[in-house]
Amino acid sequence: MKNLLSMKDLTIDEISAILDRAAMLKRYGIRALPQKYMVSNLFFEPSTRTKMSFEVAERKLGLETIPFEANSSSAVKGETLYDTLRTLEEIGLDAVVIRHPEEGYYEDLVGKMNMAIINGGDGSGQHPTQSLLDLFTIKETLGGFKGLNVLIAGDISHSRVAKSNADALVKLGANVKFLCPPEWAGDFPSVSDWDEVIYTSDVVMLLRVQHERHDGKMRFTKEEYHEKYGLTVEREREMKPGSIIMHPAPVNRDVEIAGSLVECSRSMIYKQVENGVYIRAAILETILQKEELAWERSSRVHMF
């Protein structure tokens, strides 16, 4: 694995290897790599959790993280993304994590540089590290994916999480359904009635209502959305035993999920955050150390 751009590029074996390595890191701790590497987190869109999760993983791996500020970068002087990245490569970076508002921004870059690229989210496209931490959390909690009923509820068409996860979960043998207002379904077949899905879902994965992408043009209030498409306190009571609630966060409390459910016993929301650090450390290790990586040899030892 040279870059991590989209869940579509990963085979089942590659996914398994990353999840296994993250489980090892969670059990035994993240340790500094033997070599010094330089990386940078290029976030052209706001982010707290993804960026800080990478920052923590990088420090635990002993990497040097070179700060980058999109607002004061040469991008504001009209430099192309390719030229910015070539510059960073010549300055000596080994890998960059990029979040960028343009879907598929990386298509112009792939194959043109040696520096590795990890996609931290591209517009309404993919968000593979989020997807892998979601898979990790499902596997850790429910033991596997085959035959699981996964419901993804919310703003499907704008969500890179929905797309990344659906791709991967289906590949891994889960049944994925979508619930959302019809106008937010995009190309996905969806339902809009919780009664069709709440009793049978093993995983209820909620998506954030992205107010900032709708320009105030939503046809319902927050209260109406919560009542019709959110996970209310009443609906949670109908969930099957052992089923779990997930959300990529940040959460809009009392919109997509009742505020009182955020830290309920079914909720994996903060466990997802915790697991994100292990997943990102596993990915950085894999990409920076490539073939010479010792753990790949031992990746037959599955942790779950």
Instruction: Point out which residues bind a copy of itself (CB under 8 A).
Output: 38, 40, 43, 45-49, 52-53, 55-56, 59-60, 64, 66-80, 83-84, 86-88, 90-93, 208, 211-212, 249-253, 262-263, 270-271, 273-274, 276-277
250 annotated to bind ligand: yes
Q: Sheet of 64-65: strands edge to edge? A: 64-65, 38-43, 95-100, 116-122
Q: Which is nearer to a copy of itself, 15 or 85 (CB)?
A: 85
Write the DSSP symbol of residue 115.
Answer: S
What is Dmax (Cα atoms) for the chain? 56
Q: In the bound complex, what is the minimum distance in angstroms from residue 254's beta carbon to a copy of itself? A: 11
Closest CA to 272 of 195, 203, 184: 203
249 annotated to bind ligand: yes
Query: With contact defined as beta carbons under 8 Å apart, do 89 and 114 qualify?
Result: yes
272 annotated to bind ligand: no
C-alpha R_g of the chain: 19
Write the DSSP symbol of residue 153.
Answer: E
How far, in Å, CA of 122 to CA of 103, rounded?
Answer: 5
208 annotated to bind ligand: yes
Q: Which is nearer to a copy of itself, 208 or 226 (CB)?
A: 208
Q: In the bound complex, what is the minimum distance in angstroms from residue 195's beta carbon to a copy of itself? A: 29
Q: In the bound complex, what is the minimum distance in angstroms from residue 50's beta carbon to a copy of itself? A: 10
Q: In the bound complex, what is the minimum distance in angstroms from residue 283's beta carbon to a copy of itself? A: 16
160 annotated to bind ligand: yes
Residue 189 burial (C-beta neighbours within 10 Å; 0-12, 13-18, 19+): exposed
130 annotated to bind ligand: yes
How far, in Å, CA of 205 to CA of 139, rounded?
Answer: 14
Q: Which is nearer to a copy of itself, 78 or 189 (CB)?
A: 78
Q: In the bound complex, what is the minimum distance in angstroms from residue 145's beta carbon to a copy of itself? A: 24
3-state helix, strand, coil in the chain (%, to 5): 45, 15, 40
Structure token digits, residue 26: 């969670």
Q: Which is nearer to a copy of itself, 68 or 225 (CB)?
A: 68
Q: In the bound complex, what is the minimum distance in angstroms from residue 69's beta carbon to a copy of itself? A: 8
Q: Which is nearer to a copy of itself, 38 or 185 (CB)?
A: 38
Q: Which is nearer to a copy of itself, 72 or 265 (CB)?
A: 72
50 annotated to bind ligand: yes
* β strands within the chain, DSSP E: 38-43, 64-65, 95-100, 116-122, 149-153, 175-179, 203-206, 244-246
289 annotated to bind ligand: no
Binding residues for L-aspartate: 77, 160, 208
Binding residues: 49-50, 77, 99, 127, 130, 160, 208, 249-250
